[in-house]
Amino acid sequence: MMQNFKIAAALLNRFGVRFTNNIYSSGILEIIRERMGLENNLANMVEALNMNRRSSHFENICADQNNVSFFPTLEYRDLILFALGTYQIRQARSYYGEHVRSQGRYIIEVNRGEAITQNEHNLRGGSGKKTLFKGKIKSRHISRKQYYVYLLIENNIPGRTGILEYCCSCLVGRGAL
């Protein structure tokens, strides 16, 4: 086994591509350092209001209709920094293919303020009108498992600053924002 390892290492040293820092690495590290000690207030609110089990605070909207014009416009750089890298962006096409409904629609639920107003004092950022989005994501590992993704935005604020908080009901989605 050691001989095979030495041969593989020699081949990598001779023909392998050297790793270089991504142009976004310093920005990603800065975001991680800023948010490492923060509490996930949105995840706390979702848990306290049992939002994963009920939809009474939400209404369905379709992503293909132009009824979310107040959503922040994100540049490609903003998406990379928001996702802390390109992995999720590369996965987006396959996720979309798995979740698209008939006639090319993907249903998203939106709360235009009821649950948010009740819990405003716990949520970070912004002083304007907020909107909470809820989406269902199928697990990539367990076929019958669904996760809920929440995204709290401040309306009409461009870029990443318009995204105030976010969380997911998956195992690692509760991390600090």
Mean pLDDT estimate for the chain:
82
- The pLDDT tens digits for 16-52 are 877 777 899 999 999 999 988 888 899 998 888 888 8
Q: Where are the domains of the chain?
A: 22-168
- pTM of the predicted model as reported, rounded to 2 decimal places: 0.76
List the one residue out of 71, 81, 75, 74 whose CA is nearest residue 23: 81
- Helix ranges (H only) for the chain are 2-15, 25-35, 41-48, 76-83, 87-99, 114-118
Instruction: Report the C-alpha gap between 49 and 104 in whole angstroms.
Output: 32
Give all strands (DSSP E) within 21-97, no chain letters: 59-62
Residues in the chain, pLDDT under 70: 55-56, 62-67, 101-105, 112-127, 174-177
- The residue behind tokens 């009474």 is 56
For residue 16, the SS3 value is coil
